[in-house]
Amino acid sequence: METLNLDVNKRYTYADYLTWLDDVRRELFDGFIKLMTPAPSSTHQIIANNINGFFWNYLRKKQCRLFQAPSDVRFPKTKNNVDDKQLYTVLQPDLYVVCDLSKIDKRGCLGAPDLIIEIVSAGNSKRDIKDKFKIYEEYGVREYWIVFPNDELVYVYLLDETGKYKEKDIYERDDKIPVNIFNGDLEIDLTEVFE
């Protein structure tokens, strides 16, 4: 399939995004294209699958659902701006949990998930640490984890009452992370995540 020749300096909408039928993975940051790294490393995939396993077991027969990339999360500016031509921010988190299932449709998630987990790799560290952090905070993602595979660390951020992220903690390989959106009923054992 031929790669499209898109202008990275032009502002696009989700309606435009839906017409791009090549094999290139992209995200829209306020309408501007950010190319994604071609394919995650095997380490990245193992970590994602290990985290996925914890959530899958816990969420069976519960209201919340876990989704894994590639899956579009569309962030509307307001609840009224949900038309594809008014959506400018579309991201593909590595993993995300949604408890309000009315946000889920055939194209992914419309609105902020409750929890997002990004696994940092060499090609996306600035994007996950700075750019996505700001977007997730702005749109009200309640809990955000940034996983650093090389250092075997996870930074956990929680949205406070003012709508700003506060660092909850930094977890190391031998720690267990309580999932705050579930009031700690689920703990993720990092020795199994980083095995």
pLDDT tens sequence across 118-159: 999 876 677 778 899 999 999 999 999 999 999 999 999 999
Answer yes or no: is 64 within a domain.
Answer: yes
Please list, residue by residue across 162-181, b when 16 or more beta carbons sit within 10 angstroms of its beta carbon and e when fewer do: eeebeebeebeeebebbbbb
pLDDT of residue 192: 97
Answer yes or no: is 144 within a domain.
Answer: yes
Domain of residue 130 covers 40-70+93-193
| Structure-token pair, residue 6 | 């898109």
Residue 92 has pLDDT above 70, yes or no: yes
SS3 content of the chain, % helix, strand, coil (to 5): 25, 30, 45
Answer yes or no: is 136 within a domain.
Answer: yes
| pTM, full prediction | 0.93
pLDDT tens digits, one per residue of 49-67: 999 999 999 999 899 999 9
Answer yes or no: is 21 within a domain.
Answer: no
Residue 42 has pLDDT above 60, yes or no: yes
Residue 115 has pLDDT above 90, yes or no: yes
The total domain count for the chain is 1
Answer yes or no: is 108 within a domain.
Answer: yes
CATH code for position 140 = 3.90.1570.10
pLDDT tens digits, one per residue of 5-17: 788 889 999 999 9
Answer yes or no: is 187 within a domain.
Answer: yes
The number of helix segments (H) and strand segments (E) in the chain equals 5, 14
Best CA proximity match to 54, nearest among 144, 179, 171: 179
